[in-house]
Amino acid sequence: MPGSVVLLVTSPRLPAGVLTAQAWDVVRAHPVLTAADSEQADALRAAGASVTVVEPAVTVLLDALAAHGTVVWLAAPDGDEQLARELGLRLAREPGLATLELLYGSWDPPGARVLDAVTVMDRLMHPETGDAWKRAQTHASLAPFLLEESYELYDAIRDNDLDAVREELGDVLLQVVLHARLAEDTPDIASRFTLDDVAGDLVAKLIRRNPHVFAGAEVGGIDDIIANWEQIKQAEKSRASAVDGVALSQPALALTAKLLHRVARAGLTVDFTPADPLGAALFALVVQAHEQGKDAEAALRTAALSYMDAVRRAE
């Protein structure tokens, strides 16, 4: 019977030593070879496995195979693809020499690549070898970029360009990661927070505001879900006014529509006419759109884009 070379691939995004039961059985039963010491190799040794650092070469593996019958190759984070390819070609030419098995000791969990973004940002923010521009930023200086990236994402969604949506979501994520990294380094210790804190707050909020999913609350449909969300949000924020918490930096049409929505939801009747004639006319149009269930911001945006097309035709 030919021996076996087990190519053990593990996720570099999980703590060292987090392996499947099958992987642990294999590394404890057979000698483990690897190209360099690593946290994973140290974790295997600490658990009683025999781990030896050797030259990453097919001949070295075959020599170990002849001595032990079965050997495990602990792959580097990139999977040691070149070595695996060379070994596979050699065994294809000499099929009776050995078998090559691929064993996944661990997999990347969903969202694991966000850890890569954090690692790259740590490198970029290094005080000596990082990027000077990023280290010089503040939350205030980055704010315009967040708006710009959000608008570019909006454009991609409007155009139904999913490739662009994917790219622009990454640019928005960059803003989130960078803001969190700046907060981690702020001189005000009491105000520091990390990306983990941001994610933890989000998880807690999602669980708290969706009791129909996490706490067995009964709902009759989407309207009940929205009502529950708003009631929970109101209790959390303890706002004195129906218009507290409205984002004031949004475009004026969207801001007006949001205020009208809040007032209507609160069941209020407000007698109001803007003093400026132009403001009064624009406000009246947004009120009319709101009463008709239309989006004034989207309507004006559509008209503006049509005007752009007309300008290009005229040119």
Residue-level pLDDT, tens digit, the chain, 315 residues: 578 999 999 998 899 999 999 999 999 999 999 999 999 999 999 999 999 999 999 999 999 998 999 999 999 988 899 999 999 999 999 888 889 999 999 999 899 899 999 999 999 999 999 999 999 999 999 999 999 999 999 999 999 999 999 999 999 999 999 999 999 999 889 999 999 999 999 999 999 999 999 998 888 899 889 888 888 887 888 778 889 889 998 999 999 999 999 899 888 999 898 999 999 999 999 999 999 999 999 999 999 999 999 999 999
Domain boundary among 104, 125, 151: 104
Do the domain assignments include residue 56? yes
pLDDT for 1: 56
Give the residue numbers spanning the domain of 272: 240-315
Residue 79 parent element (H or E): none
Q: How far apart are CA 6 and CA 14, in angstroms?
A: 21
Tokens of 271: 């007698």
What pLDDT score does 216 carry? 87
Q: Domain for residue 221, yes or no?
A: no
CATH number, domain of 61, equals 3.40.1010
d(CA 264, CA 256): 12
Residue type, 264: A
What is the count of structural domains for the chain? 2
Task: Quote the DSSP letter at residue 161.
Answer: -
- CA separation for the pair 236, 77 (Å, rounded): 44
Number of Cβ within a 10 Å radius of residue 265: 12
In a domain? residue 193: no
In a domain, 119, yes or no: no
**3-state SS, one letter per residue, for 113-138:** HHHHHHHHHHHHCCCCCCCHHHHCCC
Helix axes 139-158, 162-184, angle to 10 degrees: 170
Tokens (6 digits) for 191: 């105000």
Q: Which of 104, 121, 149 is the last residue of a domain?
A: 104
What span, in angstroms and rounded, lies between the C-alpha atoms of 265 and 118? Answer: 40
**Cα distances (Å, whole numbers) of residue 191 to 183, 187, 188, 196:** 7, 8, 5, 14
Is the CB of residue 124 less than 8 Å from the CB of residue 25? no
Two structure tokens written together for 139: 């939350």
Answer for the pair 21, 62: CB distance below 8 angstroms, yes or no: no
Rg (CA), the chain: 29
Provide φ and ψ at 90, rounded to 5°.
Answer: -65, -45
Whether 114 contacts 198, CB under 8 Å: no
Residue 300 domain-assigned (yes or no) = yes
Q: Which helix (H) or strand (E) holds 180?
A: helix 162-184
Q: Which of 104, 127, 157 is the last residue of a domain?
A: 104
Report whether 123 contacts 130 (CB < 8 A): yes
